[in-house]
């Protein structure tokens, strides 16, 4: 995200820092999508981003540090939730957005690489979980509003519903290798909606879970 | 799996080969669970397994070769499907088995490591997809029999149903980091059952999909 975009032509405080971060994280994402975590080298990232090596080593320290900050930026940039007026259409919009992201060549590879990196490194795993926290919180009102409208039963856990919407798409990407397309996305949204309306996602202690 | 177990005391043809494979793959699984793919070294595996290095290099060639054969063995050893007489109970048994596997410290780490390895290597990804093909085929009769019993509508795709059962558990493991427990497993099985009965997993072209 270019934080300067609202101030064209000006150099506001923090502008250079924001531009450095943007360049470094764009290169980081390119390298991850192209070669995975093992291809990520701080010196090479600095050179490709046109940024001093000392700056990169001082600010991000390790490849895991770059991945963690990339996940923060991905959360900052993630698209706002849908607000169509029905649970099914909101969840369908969510599922299609996830499907579109995971089938985009760069983004799909990027998610694969970041999830693989998280499997090997607890700090990266924590950054990944924060990314999903942000996404799941952003979309929670779709479920909360469905409860207010009387479409979904009181006590429905938004996080459980939204996890059920995304999960089959990730299962295809990471486990079975089955294709991801709009039909799969729509089916996932329908399944989660039907189960929500039936009360499957009423979770007694959901307020106590991470949200 | 000890292929000799049906012939105690005897050395049938292939017995030594099977024992070598068993030892090597046990060490491979231990190393993957403990240190991940980057910790996997063929010489060290040979030494720890008490097997000649030449044998290991000739038969498995690379760390990816070890991982692929481990996935074949995991598919061979996987537990038979449930046959309780109802779709909900069969899918609940499936979900609890997946949850138990992914929360077992060794097995959970092993799946994380294997999925991470598949993200970086197409041959490992192919071996991983074969593992899930075997699992999904083993459990498909739970859905097929529900159709025969009239519990689920004709045209229901077993693979889509079973993917929906497992997927939230993998999403917790690999993406959100949310805990996996029996409540989560049972909820996933209920959601998939409700959606199946509602006809959500009737897929026109499922016979054309990999099964």
HEC states along B100-144? HHHHCHHHHHHHHHHHHHHHHCHHHHHHHHHHHHHHHHHHHHHHH
| Tokens 């481990």 sit on residue | B70
Q: What is the mean pLDDT of residues B86-99?
A: 98
Q: What is the mean pLDDT of residues A55-84?
A: 94
Q: Measured between alpha carbons, how far is B137 from B153 in angstroms, rounded to an integer?
A: 19
From A163's Cα to the closest Cα of chain B, the distance in A is: 6
Q: What is the mean pLDDT of residues A154-165?
A: 98
pLDDT of residue B14: 66
Say yes or no to pLDDT of A3 above 70: no
- Choose among A175, A187, A203: nearest Cβ to B200: A187
Position A14 confidence tier, pLDDT thresholds 50, 70, 90: low
Say yes or no to pLDDT of A209 above 70: no
- Cβ-proximal residues to A140 (8 Å cutoff; 6+ apart), any chain: A158, A159, A162, A211
pLDDT of residue B187: 98
Q: Which residues of B touch A115 (CB under 8 A)?
A: 115-116, 119, 174-175
Helix or strand holding residue B45 (H, E): helix B42-49
Taking only the tens place, the pLDDT of each residue in B146-199 is 999 999 999 999 999 999 999 999 999 999 999 999 999 999 999 999 999 999
Would the CB atoms of A119 and B112 count as touching at under 8 Å? yes
- Choose among A115, A178, A200: nearest Cβ to B174: A115
Average pLDDT along chain A: 91
Structure tokens at B130: 């074969």
pLDDT of residue B205: 60
Q: Which residues of B touch A117 (CB under 8 A)?
A: 116
Contact B192, B161 (CB under 8 A): yes
Say yes or no to pLDDT of A105 above 50: yes
Average pLDDT along chain B: 91
Would the CB atoms of A36 and B164 count as touching at under 8 Å? no
Q: What is the mean pLDDT of residues A91-100?
A: 98
A-B contacts (CB, under 8 Å): 135
pLDDT of residue B191: 98
pLDDT of residue B13: 52
pLDDT of residue A8: 39
Q: Which residue has the higher pLDDT, A7 or A168?
A: A168
Position A130 confidence tier, pLDDT thresholds 50, 70, 90: very high
Test the B interface: residue of A134, A136, A174, A196 with most B CBs within 10 Å:
A174
Position A165 confidence tier, pLDDT thresholds 50, 70, 90: very high
Nearest to B92 by CA among B103, B77, B82: B82
Q: What is the mean pLDDT of residues B26-31?
A: 97
Contact A125, A118 (CB under 8 A): yes
Nearest to A114 by CA among A76, A78, A81, A72: A72
ipTM of the complex: 0.89
Say yes or no to pLDDT of B98 above 80: yes
Contact B172, B180 (CB under 8 A): yes
pLDDT of residue B170: 98
- Choose among A125, A175, A190: nearest Cβ to B177: A125
């Amino acid at each position: 995200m270019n934080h300067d975009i609202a101030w064209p032509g000006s150099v506001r405080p923090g502008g250079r820092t924001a531009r450095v971060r943007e360049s470094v994280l764009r290169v980081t994402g390119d390298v991850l999508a192209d070669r995975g975590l093992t291809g990520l080298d701080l010196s090479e990232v600095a050179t490709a981003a046109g940024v001093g090596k000392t700056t990169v080593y001082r600010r991000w320290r390790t490849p895991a540090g770059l991945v963690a900050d990339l996940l923060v930026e991905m959360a900052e940039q993630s698209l706002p939730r849908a607000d169509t007026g029905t649970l099914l259409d909101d969840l369908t919009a969510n599922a299609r957005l996830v499907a579109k992201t995971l089938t985009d060549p760069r983004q799909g590879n990027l998610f694969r690489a970041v999830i693989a990196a998280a499997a090997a490194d607890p700090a990266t795993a924590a950054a990944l979980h924060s990314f999903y926290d942000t996404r799941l919180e952003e979309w929670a009102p779709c479920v909360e509003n469905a409860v207010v409208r009387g479409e979904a039963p009181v006590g429905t856990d938004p996080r459980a519903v939204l996890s059920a919407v995304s999960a089959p798409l990730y299962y295809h990407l990471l486990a079975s290798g089955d294709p991801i397309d709009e039909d799969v996305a729509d089916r996932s949204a329908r399944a989660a909606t039907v189960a929500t309306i039936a009360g499957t996602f009423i979770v007694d202690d959901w307020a106590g879970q991470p949200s």
